[in-house]
Structure 1
Amino acid sequence: MSDTLRLLLALLELGPRLKDLLADKWPPYADELQELAGRAGNGEDPARLRQSLDLLLVRLLAEAPATELVAHVMEDMAAPAPATETVTRRGRVSPLVVPDIVEPTTDEATGIVTIPVFYGTDRARGDDTPARYFGPARGTPSFGIAEVSVPTRGRDLGELTSPSWWHLEFSANPEKHVILKSVGALGRDAFVNTLKDSLAAADLHDVLIFVHGYNVTFEDAVRRAGQLAVDLKFAGRTLLYSWASAADTRKYTVDESTIDWSRDHFEAFLQLALGEIGAGKVHVIAHSMGNRAVINTLEGVTSWRLPADAAKLGQIVFAAPDIDRDRFVQLAAKFKGCAARVTLYASSRDVALLASKFVHGYPRAGEAGEALTIVDGVDTIDASLVDTSLVGLRHSYFGEKRSILNDMFSLIVQQLAPDQRFDLQAAGDAVRRYWSYRA
């Protein structure tokens, strides 16, 4: 873990003491720390992150009541600024084309996989470029297909590659980058019929729904869904529910309000997937704050009136869930048994969740360590030991780390229990049993 990240975590831990010392001067500093944690969790350039952190420290050191405490922390963690890492930048992609792709295709010459992502969203419309087809504002539920190309050669498993000025890349290259190529809207009936026909022609009649987290654009949500489907070698059809995240680290509380507002829309989307498209099983991967919509929806799933031939819930994956741990435990008792298996990935090194605990005052369900959530009916996996990069264990580790992607492949595609999966070993005791990655 970098010195920058350790220093940031130390300041977050000192939050209650700094609040007492600074009184009414504290809120702006708390907001800035939260923003820095969000930037760190999204893998921002470490040099830029350290520059912002240094400016914050200078101001804190000038606050007499906090000077000694902050200086002591800096002395304990003194370290040179980290080296500059890659900075990514979006290139322009093709103008809007309504996709006619309804099944994945592979270019054998280049290894590029082009995959349809069937989306539902409650974002407001933006302009007609794929990257901004939907914006951060709330809208009405709508449906369609997005076309994503994913390179399988020259890209490490889990990489969500984009053009980088550091490598003198100023436009998207399908042989190197995961690209949102096009977005097209469909009415609800057309969406259901198109997805139903596509699924009937698939090798596997299951669907995988991805629900993204806080601070995510529609473009990046679609790209992540496509990358996950390709890296997991999922043979069914890939769906995305993209709620109206503001995609701004400064608007965490805005996203909190929006995910609650989106819950009913996601419930309707999940019911559509279960009851109207002819699926065999419906698997769900939810990340970060997106878990709130999923978990709160599952609370009432047993009361739904679905068709007799409705699909079953297969694998439910809660990846780094940003939800109150005690609330998760309450809800887990209600959705127990609703799916074939429920899995929770947690980490003690997830800076975004530590920032969320800093804001809310209580542990999050995606934390590990002493706060690790272990509850009957849920397989808890401590991912803290997974190899890390950049400024630490990124909040998006679930989709980026080979070991975790391999484990999710064993879970979703091979349908294996934890004790059958090679990378996992049992931990804890008979009362508090969980799983961790082999050293």
Structure 2
Amino acid sequence: MRWFAFILLLAAAGCSDRTAAPIVPEALNFGLNKTVFIGTTRDRNEAGEFGIERSTDLQLLKATVSIPPNRDLGSVSDGFDSPNPKRDFAIAELTQFETTNAFANSLRSEIDNRAVNNREVTVFVHGFNNSFADSAFRMAQLAHDLELPGAHVSYAWPSRGNPLGYEYDRDSALFARDGLAELLESVRAAGRPNLIVVAHSMGSALVMETFRQLEIAQPGWVGENVRGVILMSPDINIDVFRNQFSRIKNVPDPFVVVVSRKDAVLRVSSRLRGQKTQLGNISNAEEVADLPITILDVSEFSDLRSGNHFVAAGSPALIQLLRRSSELDREFLRGRNGSVVLLPWQRRIVTQANGDASVVVSGGDR
């Protein structure tokens, strides 16, 4: 019955058209405006919007995203084809660059306007069931709520934006590898800023496949060009992840994997594959304990809106902790093999199986 209810939920959600991305200029007068650079391998549809079809050409854009006032921390409200900027996220402006150089110059200008110690670029790669607008909205929400420094870039790969489009999205994630590699190269062309790659769910699989591709073509590229990696709720088989990871010659540090044993979406994904878990809902960190990564366990936080599948972006309590905690900087997350960080409140020192001391914070949501 639970499976039947889940299918009904997917079918109901699938009745909504989530692909609309109207430009709403009046949204500039409401809320907070956030600049998000975008690379996309979506093709334009008959309405002139970036829809679900795949394009071999990477298109580079800059959007002004309006974040509505008086919203709940961690929330993203989408009005689909009729957004109300007083209540919903909206794209207020969208500019397309004609050349890669124009994109790099604009991004460099955005970076140069920051303080010298604040010149990072975060590239966000969305997951399954996202529209073009979703990817921009989520990047803006993460940047604002988590107070991410520097400039912000979203990679909008051609997801169907429909809960019933899982297989289409898996194919699209494979299709989108070249585009992501090209986008990362374009970002590095903007004065070689510090590059942080953040991915969610199926987007994590896309990132790891792209890293593997880059490393095969140019051994050492990832370590030379990417300063840090955060994979949130990665929808990746553990064996596949280990194979992808083995190709990375010099691993970025920190390399953080955010997991939740309560992730309902990954529980379904695992069952569809006949597996117990995916990487993002791993229950035994010993399976990756030999890798130079840090596991950030957020199981004790609750984000019912996402089925605990995007806790790092949706849980107000966790957002507040990540925002204000000086301990969760790169030195804190910089990993020893097999280190596990449990959040939040009481800290204790433990010894990992490999003998390294590591900070583990345990407790529950307040």
User: Does TM, normalized by the shorter one, top 0.5?
Assistant: yes
3-state SS in 2 of match to 1:292: helix
Deviation at 1:253, TM superposition (A): 1.0
For 1:426 and 1:256, locate their aligned partners in 2 and report how far apart those are by CA, in whole Å. Answer: 40
Give the alignment partner of residue 191 of structure 1, picking from 79, 98, 103: 103
Change (3 A) 1:414 1:436: closer
Matches within 5 A, 1:168-247: 172-187=83-98, 188-203=100-115, 204-247=118-161
Deviation at 1:422, TM superposition (A): 7.7
Residue number in structure 1 paired with 2:36 = 117
Residue number in structure 2 paired with 1:347 = 260
Matches within 5 A, 1:420-435: 423=344, 425=347, 430-431=352-353
TM-score (norm 2): 0.79
Asked if residue 405 in structure 1 is aligned to residue 324 in structure 2, the reply is no
Tell me which amino acid in the other structure corresponds to 1:123: R
For 2:359 and 2:207, locate their aligned partners in 1 and report how far apart those are by CA, in whole Å. Answer: 22
Deviation at 1:351, TM superposition (A): 1.9
Residue number in structure 1 paired with 2:75 = 159
Deviation at 1:314, TM superposition (A): 2.4
Residue number in structure 2 paired with 1:52 = none
For 2:11 and 2:196, locate their aligned partners in 1 and report how far apart those are by CA, in whole Å. Answer: 30
Asked if residue 326 in structure 1 is aligned to residue 239 in structure 2, the reply is yes
Tell me which amino acid in the other structure corresponds to 2:32: V
Deviation at 1:374, TM superposition (A): 3.3
Give the alignment partner of residue 294 of structure 1, picking from 207, 210, 215: 207
Relative contact order, CA 8 A, sep 6+: which one is greater? 1
Deviation at 1:267, TM superposition (A): 1.3
Confirm or deny: 8 A CA contact 2:302 2:308 kept in the other structure: no
Give the alignment partner of residue 378 of structure 1, picking from 286, 293, 316: 293
Residue number in structure 2 paired with 1:137 = 53
Change (3 A) 1:192 1:91: closer
Deviation at 1:248, TM superposition (A): 1.8
CA deviation string 1:186-240 (max 9, x = no partner) = 1222111111122112232110111000111001111111111111212311100
For 2:173 and 2:21, locate their aligned partners in 1 and report how far apart those are by CA, in whole Å. Answer: 29
- The range that moved more, 365-374 or 290-299, is 365-374
For 2:21 and 2:292, locate their aligned partners in 1 and report how far apart those are by CA, in whole Å. Answer: 45
3-state SS in 1 of match to 2:38: strand
Residue number in structure 2 paired with 1:417 = 332
Tell me which amino acid in the other structure corresponds to 1:137: E
Q: 5+ residue gaps in structure 1? A: 1-6, 12-31, 50-86, 100-104, 165-169
CA deviation string 1:406-425 (max 9, x = no partner) = 45545999434149998365
Residue number in structure 2 paired with 1:3 = none
For 1:420 and 1:435, locate their aligned partners in 2 and report how far apart those are by CA, in whole Å. Answer: 5
Deviation at 1:183, TM superposition (A): 2.0
- The range that moved more, 334-343 or 115-124, is 334-343
Confirm or deny: 8 A CA contact 2:120 2:196 kept in the other structure: yes
Tell me which amino acid in the other structure corresponds to 2:128: Y
Tell me which amino acid in the other structure corresponds to 2:164: R
Change (3 A) 1:293 1:89: closer
For 1:397 and 1:38, locate their aligned partners in 2 and report how far apart those are by CA, in whole Å. Answer: 20
Say what the alpha-carbon RMSD is for the aligned residues. 4.0
CA deviation string 1:309-335 (max 9, x = no partner) = x97422211111111111112333333
Q: Determine what percentage of the aligned residue pairs are the same residue.
A: 22
Give the alignment partner of residue 313 of structure 1, picking from 216, 222, 226: 226
Residue number in structure 1 paired with 2:45 = 126
- Work out which of the two has the higher radius of gyration on C-alpha atoms and give 1 or 2: 1
Q: 5+ residue gaps in structure 2? A: 334-339
CA deviation string 1:233-274 (max 9, x = no partner) = 123111001111111222211111111111121112112222
Residue number in structure 2 paired with 1:76 = none
Tell me which amino acid in the other structure corresponds to 1:143: L
Change (3 A) 1:162 1:255: closer
3-state SS in 1 of match to 2:106: helix
Change (3 A) 1:277 1:90: closer
Change (3 A) 1:260 1:89: closer
3-state SS in 1 of match to 2:119: coil
3-state SS in 2 of match to 1:343: strand
- Size of the aligned set, in residue pairs, is 345
Change (3 A) 1:320 1:199: same
Residue number in structure 2 paired with 1:438 = 363
Change (3 A) 1:312 1:91: closer
Tell me which amino acid in the other structure corresponds to 1:117: V
Deviation at 1:158, TM superposition (A): 0.8
Change (3 A) 1:260 1:90: closer
